Amino acid sequence: MSRLHPGGLVVEPKLREECGVMGVKGHFEASNLVYLGLHALQHRGQEGAGIVSTDGEQMRSHRGLGLVGDIFGPTQLTPLTGDSAIGHVRYSTSGERSALRNVQPFVVRYGGGQVSIAHNGNLVNAARLRRELEQRGSIFGTSSDTEVILHLLATSQQGTFINRLVDALLQVEGAYSLILQTETVMVAVRDPHGFRPLVMGRVGDAVVFASETTALDLIGGTYEREVQPGEMIIVENGTQVLSLSPFPRRERKACVFEHIYFARPNSVVFGSPVYDSRFNFGQALHRTAPADVDLVIPVPDSGTPAALGFAFASGLPFKQGLIRSHYVGRTFIEPSQQIRDFGVKLKLSPVRSAIEGKRLVVVDDSIVRGTTSRKIVRLLREAGAKEVHLRISSPPIRASCFYGVDTPTREELIAHRLTPEETCAFVGADSLGYLSLEAMHNELKGKASTWCDACFSGEYAVPPENDAERPQLDLFGGASPDED
Amino acid sequence: MSRLHPGGLVVEPKLREECGVMGVKGHFEASNLVYLGLHALQHRGQEGAGIVSTDGEQMRSHRGLGLVGDIFGPTQLTPLTGDSAIGHVRYSTSGERSALRNVQPFVVRYGGGQVSIAHNGNLVNAARLRRELEQRGSIFGTSSDTEVILHLLATSQQGTFINRLVDALLQVEGAYSLILQTETVMVAVRDPHGFRPLVMGRVGDAVVFASETTALDLIGGTYEREVQPGEMIIVENGTQVLSLSPFPRRERKACVFEHIYFARPNSVVFGSPVYDSRFNFGQALHRTAPADVDLVIPVPDSGTPAALGFAFASGLPFKQGLIRSHYVGRTFIEPSQQIRDFGVKLKLSPVRSAIEGKRLVVVDDSIVRGTTSRKIVRLLREAGAKEVHLRISSPPIRASCFYGVDTPTREELIAHRLTPEETCAFVGADSLGYLSLEAMHNELKGKASTWCDACFSGEYAVPPENDAERPQLDLFGGASPDED
Amino acid sequence: MSRLHPGGLVVEPKLREECGVMGVKGHFEASNLVYLGLHALQHRGQEGAGIVSTDGEQMRSHRGLGLVGDIFGPTQLTPLTGDSAIGHVRYSTSGERSALRNVQPFVVRYGGGQVSIAHNGNLVNAARLRRELEQRGSIFGTSSDTEVILHLLATSQQGTFINRLVDALLQVEGAYSLILQTETVMVAVRDPHGFRPLVMGRVGDAVVFASETTALDLIGGTYEREVQPGEMIIVENGTQVLSLSPFPRRERKACVFEHIYFARPNSVVFGSPVYDSRFNFGQALHRTAPADVDLVIPVPDSGTPAALGFAFASGLPFKQGLIRSHYVGRTFIEPSQQIRDFGVKLKLSPVRSAIEGKRLVVVDDSIVRGTTSRKIVRLLREAGAKEVHLRISSPPIRASCFYGVDTPTREELIAHRLTPEETCAFVGADSLGYLSLEAMHNELKGKASTWCDACFSGEYAVPPENDAERPQLDLFGGASPDED
Amino acid sequence: MSRLHPGGLVVEPKLREECGVMGVKGHFEASNLVYLGLHALQHRGQEGAGIVSTDGEQMRSHRGLGLVGDIFGPTQLTPLTGDSAIGHVRYSTSGERSALRNVQPFVVRYGGGQVSIAHNGNLVNAARLRRELEQRGSIFGTSSDTEVILHLLATSQQGTFINRLVDALLQVEGAYSLILQTETVMVAVRDPHGFRPLVMGRVGDAVVFASETTALDLIGGTYEREVQPGEMIIVENGTQVLSLSPFPRRERKACVFEHIYFARPNSVVFGSPVYDSRFNFGQALHRTAPADVDLVIPVPDSGTPAALGFAFASGLPFKQGLIRSHYVGRTFIEPSQQIRDFGVKLKLSPVRSAIEGKRLVVVDDSIVRGTTSRKIVRLLREAGAKEVHLRISSPPIRASCFYGVDTPTREELIAHRLTPEETCAFVGADSLGYLSLEAMHNELKGKASTWCDACFSGEYAVPPENDAERPQLDLFGGASPDED
């Protein structure tokens, strides 16, 4: 007479970054350093991870589903010898997309030898390219757009690996921050718009590439610079570096959501510190949407920097009104007896003594569907909050992303369906304030045109092709989660 | 040619709470609610957990090593039927103490039937009682002092279960917050000094006991009151409650470290909110040890409330200067190439943009050995901090605990060996300030005499017997970790 | 729309041996040798296994549920240091008895120090002794009768370990082949009737005890002799051996079923080779119950030696008419579409070309419930057998065992309910023949009085006490299988 | 101070069958029946297994490393919906070849849709075809020759799936028994020589293909016929069957080793019963190489049918002189103290009472390297055998197989290096006799030309290309065993 059932995700996920990539070339512990770097990039993908190393002759790989720490131990790392290694963490999604065969880096053999690839981003013309490649005789073993790049490389009429790669990338449209590796060469390359981040640094002489600087910091490396939009950096003969710019120049379009939510606060992304952006968003949010309250509290952890900025700008006291639990995994046994807002309670516990009788500003970084916000407002009221004013340190999310972020369909986005006033009513707050698009761009200290804000503005630098509507469509629909 | 080796704990642990306990009587989903409550109490023990339920006739149990979420799933919970259940989480320690046989609740059969027990605390005369019991023919299957209570109960000449239990507890000295369960009765009892916390509440009619109120909150229960020091609460005939005070009256000695570090900030412990205590310690710390700086930052997560209090009292800005990673497990593969302060880096990442060029106050809740503090100071300096002033929101820890907290030996405590000035030099800070004992007691708004502050003052309300020097000495020395 | 469900045991089990024991004293690799020996004894118990070693000061143990090879690897064995070790394999049973806490060897501390124990057999007065011990204050942590021996030892008024042990064993009635170990001494002892086997041998100087000689053979040891009924052998000061006979002399009552089914055919049990007994049973079976057929086939593997004996005596050809699969585990996913006699088919495949059109004698070692025999007869007929004459190389099983064998209740035994003629009709054979009790004893070349044949004759050398009706009654009724 | 290390294979493996295949079309429980069938085919491959099902629109798959029963449970099988499914078991090999990515069935998408494939056999021109395909732009994700077939299919200029498949297979040389599946069609096809077996049967209306009839028997199916050499059977529109013969006619070359060792004794392979062949080989062996001895014993289990045939023909008594253990897995912890012939002892225990003082004929099915035979001879002599005459029920193995059997290099084959007399001396037997090639063919009741006996005769029907020397060369050399 069991009434138990495993619950789903305990709180509605935010938008999800689709990946993190890492590469080390010219270090005798290359795969160990990649392993450590993937730990620091774990927030960019919790579904799966892999590392491929090469000693100049063989490639060796290990990939798995789960967290980096669960997939890799000495048994898995020891065989990954050689002074060159690349790695990948993959985002966490629901069942049908979750198959080991889609975990990167991919390793294949083609006419020019072996190549492995790790990709952060999403191509908008992958479905069409895939169809064309299939018509010409290519076979696809995964549902990933990354495999398209490998087939374009393999079928290119160019002679060298680099020329083939350029030839391949000239055909794809969309977002890619790539690290590739042959037996002898490592290449890091970013699409001409530079949607997704990619940095370069050093550990001693060894060259390191990573999605974020936090990976460099962890391994004691030094940050050198971004891989520039449209730049291809080639490392060969040990640690010798060559930079090419083989693509037509395009307007820079850095993903603004990296600064709002994705990147770790201690990272430097697109050349500027993430923590500062968030703190500044909070200050600007106060200017945009002040509130007459007693106290500022964040929705931890992602809302904390902006909440501190809001408190600093307003002079209001700041307290932790919600304590986040870090022991709770992603699924959970729910009791049969319905406990209201159980999932959120498991993650966030209100501190009654701090908030009872208080008028609160609650700062969160974004609202996606609105259902979690509603539960949080209710939780705070039940714990005695007198007023709950919700402040969001980004503009309303109104459109899907096609450049490597896992967004719900447009119809699920609350800001697509409801006005801010209706949203406020839905979540049950006393007031709701967003950061305006203009204020956001002001704080990013760049021209709006240098950022991709498509999820807010709906303006796409690279228009998605028709059948790109659902990024990473699973062509094998329904492969079981732990398959392959 | 592997140079990898699994690292130990990545950062030196603070003092460790030894356990959390939970009981539900009179609810058709008793074991499910205990399971949820143990999740909320997970911070009190991560080594192992167990639940024992009874339907009035049978007792059924499941215990395991690891986190609650890893030990229990529907397969384990479904058989734990009945409307009465008790549970336990156990602290995390190094190898030799970690054996399944020491995981509670214990279940045994004695002359009066079956009984299960969950214990938070530590007895100071267990070793002597154990020797005496062994001489009289008792056999011990664990190295736990809790087993002593069961043998005293079993060998008591008293008639009823309650009388036997009182008889047993009159012989033990030290700290105990216990929940016991027979086929028909649940008993919660606290030692006369009331060292460790224990609260009572309700879910509907069902009676709930738990170490902290956060467990009640999670399951939608209501807090009624503390189980009083020296009080024995008996629940029988469903949910009928009876209170006894069978022990000689003693001075209340509530563990002050619960308010400093152990309890979750959203809990109400010994009748007062933990978050407030910590925030107030921070304010008092500013009064005691102010500093001329630019910025206040916490050592997250435990130092955050006090740091906020310090910032509030001082008017100084507060920022997150260190970001804590929550993906890192307890052990880790270290690279062979030594990365300086690797363990701390894995857990804590400095936010260079927030701290560079700044004079900082860094607030932590306590210092045990001092080595982690030293690494943190170095990390901050490397990230550009101009000055680092360390502030500790509790007095120097100078003495071991014998009442249920896992402390290093006195010799390992930095405050036992070094003066504050020497400690400051050791950790490399520009200045070091502690909260004074008096200030601490002031903030706790009670007479000093109502709190156990032995770890700071060295004054023990119940003197440890000679061979109590190492609490929970492992008599089977070296049983393998995953044994039994 | 899953219709799958895990099946139970794929074929009805025969009677089950309840345990195997092993001990090595005086060898630097004691625990490794015990580990190997337990492999050779795996057929005596597949539910769980454990090893306890001692280096003269500490005892170290590891126990687990499952097969020896799954429980132990280098991680588990390496910590089991010392030159003395004992081990145990436990029989496989259905759910409720299967709990880790009941897996032996047990290790406890009592007034005289530490002691570990491994037991093969069953006590008939354990329930009464347990009640008396509980009344005097002993607490029981397991549902095993073996724990009674430890409590008797602990509460004995005798001075030395040996005297306490003798004192304890003088109080118990029933079957026991025991190996015990303190920090300094190993003791092997058999009950005065000698129900269950126990042998002694050497590896170099080291002393080895084991349930069967096959364990000695595997580790390259030499067989010395049986531990005699009522004998207590003490090994101390390294490998010095002392023999005591502290118990009143009783009539030898060796378990006849060891020779019929339990022991491995290559073992020497109670001083005589098992393979020979079975071959001879088959020859005698032909004399008792000949058949006019074309071919003899065995039910593999246990029926093979007797079938060979039958064929030899009769001059009839012998073939493998049924092939046994060794890849099938104990549970299995059954298809929803009912496949007739699926479980037996999974284990046994008929060889149509060998049996089609033939009149067969099919030899099995015993019949318990009769349902498997019925399926086998049907399988053979479907594969074209013209006649199926079932021959059983033991007498009809009519009574339960109380001395360490897991028998169904008397009511479930087909020979208790039905006459041989009715049994033959039930299983659908053309004829059915058993070995007579007399013929069996003749072949064992001993007086009937030296064997325990209670399962056939219903004559019990040691009458079971009333509440011994179900051996190893689970006092904690319903502890979950993987508990503790 | 651990001296333990995990041993390798405990006994030297015989030649290994490389795979088993299974397909069910037109049954609502298709994947369950394939799952059962793979159990029955488990002896053909223990390294990995997979199943792919389709419901006419989606393909769903699960693959894993290990045994069928470990890889599949309800969680894995339930999602594999649809009335069409194919499955594969893969042979067990040493480390570097063992990667999940090489586990079949493969599923890919190409220009014509999705296709999945399961292959038993080995192509001799795969390396050349692979190079050519790579030059034309194909990328390879596995090191399997089976992937070549998929690329040839994908790059074919033909229009329909069937025409593409024929086009592809016209280009490959070597051995293949294939089952392929698209969303709507299932195809079974055998190479023109028919090296490897493949049968067709029915369960109700549903069509079943399997490597051996034992899989049909288990699921209650009926055997219809072999898929003929060079035949392509197409199942579409539910269970409608169409037979094509699109390939040039070749001489039948059925693998003789299926009858000697690979197939289960109860299977009917290439139209004749395997058990009979083996029994007859034993009879013929007696005629070829009689011996003046007291007793015939087999090397179990594979030598048993031939040993029975030898005994029958000679009139000599037959006994089980060696007992095989079925609990031992493939790897094992070895003791540091060297126990002579440990691995063989673990698997095979001599029955001293049966063989002591006896002159023995020991019958085994084949000798590969000779080292195991030497250990067995020594084991028997140590157990008291007076004479040991080794008889092998097949000719000396002198050449490698290129058609799907995993053979050592020619240099490792004892019969390639030594004469029978020298071999006899090496293994230490009193005499050694093989079945002659002629006698073997006589017993198979067919012309020698209809069988492939290349491993004995060195005559290859399809000459291996130069770089086919090591079948299934691992192109990714050193991928870690549990990768992908």
D305: chain C residues, CB-CB within 8 Å: 320
Q: Are the beta carbons of A35 and B275 separated by less than 8 Å?
A: no
Neighbouring residues of B166: CB distance < 8 A, sequence distance ≥ 6: B158, B232, B244, B246, B247
**R_g of chain B, CA atoms, integer Å:** 23
Mutation site, B140, B148, B473, B483, interface C, largest C CB count within 10 A: B483
D5: chain C residues, CB-CB within 8 Å: 74
Catalytic residue among A19, A424, A452, A455: A19
CATH class of B17-253: alpha beta
Kindly state the average pLDDT of the residues A50-69.
93
Q: Give the fold, CATH level 3, of C273-447.
A: Rossmann fold (3.40.50)
Q: Check: CATH 3.40.50.2020 for D272-325+339-453?
A: yes
Q: Inform me whether the C-beta atom of residue D411 falls under 8 Å from chain A C-beta atoms.
A: no
B81: chain A residues, CB-CB within 8 Å: 1
Q: Are the beta carbons of B349 and A217 separated by less than 8 Å?
A: yes
All residue ranges of chain C with pLDDT < 50 are 1-11, 93-98, 330, 468-484
Do chains D and B meet with 3 or more Cβ pairs nearer than 8 Å?
no
What is the ipTM metric for this complex? 0.91
Q: Inform me whether the C-beta atom of residue D43 falls under 8 Å from chain C C-beta atoms.
A: yes
The better pLDDT of the pair A337, C322 is held by C322
B110: chain C residues, CB-CB within 8 Å: 134, 137-140
Q: What is the pLDDT at residue C313?
A: 97
- For D387-443, what is each residue's pLDDT tens digit? 999 999 999 999 999 998 888 889 999 999 999 999 999 999 999 999 999 999 999
In this complex, which of A312, A333, A351 lies closest to B266 when CB atoms are compared?
Answer: A351
Give the integer Cα–Cα distance in Å for D372 and D370: 6
Q: What is the pLDDT at residue D341?
A: 78
Closest CA in chain D for residue C321: D266
3-state secondary structure of A215: helix
Helices (H), ranges, C161-239:
161-171, 213-218
Query: Helices C146-155 & C126-135, crossing angle to 10 degrees?
Result: 40
- For A444-470, what is each residue's pLDDT tens digit? 977 777 999 999 999 999 988 865 444
DSSP single-letter state for residue D43: G
Q: Are the beta carbons of B140 and C108 separated by less than 8 Å?
A: yes
Q: Inform me whether the C-beta atom of residue B350 falls under 8 Å from chain A C-beta atoms.
A: yes
Q: Are the beta carbons of B154 and C141 separated by less than 8 Å?
A: no
- For D172-208, what is each residue's pLDDT tens digit? 999 999 999 999 999 999 999 999 999 999 999 999 9
Pick the CATH number of D17-250 from 3.40.640.10, 3.60.20.10, 3.40.50.170, 3.30.1490.20: 3.60.20.10
- For D30-64, what is each residue's pLDDT tens digit? 999 999 999 999 999 988 999 999 999 999 999 99
Q: Are the beta carbons of D74 and C5 separated by less than 8 Å?
A: yes
Q: Inform me whether the C-beta atom of residue D352 falls under 8 Å from chain C C-beta atoms.
A: yes
Do chains B and C meet with 3 or more Cβ pairs nearer than 8 Å?
yes
Give the integer Cα–Cα distance in Å for D149 and D120: 13
Q: Which of B137-146, B202-211, C465-474 has the lowest mean pLDDT?
A: C465-474
Closest CA in chain A for residue D109: A140
Closest approach of C441 to chain B, Cα-based (Å): 43
The answer to whether residue D473 scores a pLDDT higher than 50 is no
Longest dimension (CA), chain A: 73
In this complex, which of A43, A308, A317 lies closest to B312 when CB atoms are compared?
Answer: A317
- For A388-404, what is each residue's pLDDT tens digit? 999 999 999 999 999 98
Q: Inform me whether the C-beta atom of residue A75 falls under 8 Å from chain B C-beta atoms.
A: no
Q: Which of B64-73, D307-316, D393-402 has the lowest mean pLDDT?
A: B64-73
Per-residue confidence band for B332, with pLDDT thresholds at 50, 70 and 90: low
Query: H-helix or E-strand containing A284?
Result: helix A274-288
Subunits with at least 3 CB pairs below 8 A relative to chain C? Answer: B, D
Q: Inform me whether the C-beta atom of residue C44 falls under 8 Å from chain D C-beta atoms.
A: no
**R_g of chain A, CA atoms, integer Å:** 23
Kindly state the average pLDDT of the residues D111-131.
95
Q: Inform me whether the C-beta atom of residue B463 falls under 8 Å from chain A C-beta atoms.
A: no
Give the integer Cα–Cα distance in Å for C362 and C296: 6
Q: What is the pLDDT at residue A338?
A: 65
Residues of B acting as catalytic residues: 19
Tokens 């040890």, located at residue: B289
- For B92-103, what is each residue's pLDDT tens digit? 543 334 478 889
Residues of D acting as catalytic residues: 19
- For B409-446, what is each residue's pLDDT tens digit? 899 999 999 999 999 999 999 999 999 999 999 999 77
Mutation site, A28, A280, A325, interface B, largest B CB count within 10 A: A325
Q: Inform me whether the C-beta atom of residue C171 falls under 8 Å from chain B C-beta atoms.
A: no
Closest CA in chain A for residue D147: A139
How many CB pairs lie under 8 A apart between chains B and C? 130
Q: What integer best gives the mean pLDDT of chain B?
A: 89
Q: Which of A358-362, A475-479, B59-63, D436-440 has the lowest mean pLDDT?
A: A475-479
Closest CA in chain D for residue A148: D139
Kindly state the average pLDDT of the residues B235-264.
95
The better pLDDT of the pair A97, D300 is held by D300
Q: Are the beta carbons of A139 and D154 separated by less than 8 Å?
A: yes
Per-residue confidence band for D97, with pLDDT thresholds at 50, 70 and 90: very low
Q: Check: CATH 3.40.640.10 for B272-326+338-457?
A: no
Q: Inform me whether the C-beta atom of residue C336 falls under 8 Å from chain D C-beta atoms.
A: yes
- For A24-42, what is each residue's pLDDT tens digit? 999 999 999 999 999 999 9
Q: What is the pLDDT at residue D260?
A: 96
Q: Which of A373-377, B116-120, D399-403 has the lowest mean pLDDT?
A: D399-403
Residue pair A230/A194 in contact by the 8 Å Cβ criterion: yes
Q: Are the beta carbons of B137 and C134 separated by less than 8 Å?
A: no
Do strands D359-364 and D295-298 pair parallel, antiparallel, or not at all (unpaired)?
A: parallel
Beta strands in C275-392 (DSSP E): 295-298, 322-324, 332-334, 348-350, 359-364, 387-392
Q: What is the pLDDT at residue C74?
A: 86
Portion 265-294 of B in contact with A at CB < 8 A: 265-266, 268, 273, 275-276, 279
Q: Inform me whether the C-beta atom of residue A128 falls under 8 Å from chain D C-beta atoms.
A: no
Nearest Cα neighbor of B263 from B42, B28, B58 is B42
Per-residue confidence band for B9, with pLDDT thresholds at 50, 70 and 90: very low
Closest approach of B401 to chain A, Cα-based (Å): 27
D81: chain C residues, CB-CB within 8 Å: 1
Do strands C177-181 and C113-120 pair parallel, antiparallel, or not at all (unpaired)?
A: antiparallel
CATH class of C16-253: alpha beta
Mutation site, B266, B332, B356, interface A, largest A CB count within 10 A: B266
Give the integer Cα–Cα distance in Å for A169 and A160: 14
Per-residue confidence band for A333, with pLDDT thresholds at 50, 70 and 90: low
Q: Are the beta carbons of C350 and D266 separated by less than 8 Å?
A: yes
- For D208-255, what is each residue's pLDDT tens digit? 999 999 999 999 999 999 999 999 999 998 899 999 999 999 999 999
Do chains C and A meet with 3 or more Cβ pairs nearer than 8 Å?
no
Q: Check: CATH 3.40.190.80 for A272-457?
A: no
Q: Are the beta carbons of A339 and B219 separated by less than 8 Å?
A: yes
Q: Are the beta carbons of C345 and D218 separated by less than 8 Å?
A: yes
Q: Which of B29-43, B205-219, D318-332, D423-437 has the lowest mean pLDDT?
A: D318-332
The answer to whether residue D144 scores a pLDDT higher than 70 is yes
Cα dist. C363→B333, B353, C279, C303, C377 in Å?
Answer: 58, 84, 11, 6, 11
Q: What is the pLDDT at residue B467?
A: 54
Kindly state the average pLDDT of the residues B345-362.
95
Q: What is the pLDDT at residue C338?
A: 65
Closest approach of C466 to chain B, Cα-based (Å): 20
- For C254-269, what is each residue's pLDDT tens digit? 999 999 999 999 999 9
Residues of C acting as catalytic residues: 19
Closest CA in chain B for residue A204: B337
Q: Are the beta carbons of C328 and D69 separated by less than 8 Å?
A: yes
Per-residue confidence band for B17, with pLDDT thresholds at 50, 70 and 90: low
- Provide the residue ranges of all domains of chain D, joining segments of one domain with +: 17-250, 272-325+339-453
The answer to whether residue D480 scores a pLDDT higher than 70 is no
Do chains A and D meet with 3 or more Cβ pairs nearer than 8 Å?
yes
Cα dist. C472→B61, C102, C329, C407, D232 in Å?
Answer: 19, 10, 26, 12, 61
Per-residue confidence band for D445, with pLDDT thresholds at 50, 70 and 90: confident
Q: Are the beta carbons of C134 and B150 separated by less than 8 Å?
A: no
Q: Are the beta carbons of A312 and B308 separated by less than 8 Å?
A: no
pTM: 0.90
Per-residue confidence band for B449, with pLDDT thresholds at 50, 70 and 90: confident
The answer to whether residue D330 scores a pLDDT higher than 50 is no
Beta strands in C133-262 (DSSP E): 177-181, 186-190, 199-203, 206-210, 222-226, 232-236, 240-244, 254-255
A154: chain D residues, CB-CB within 8 Å: 134, 137-139
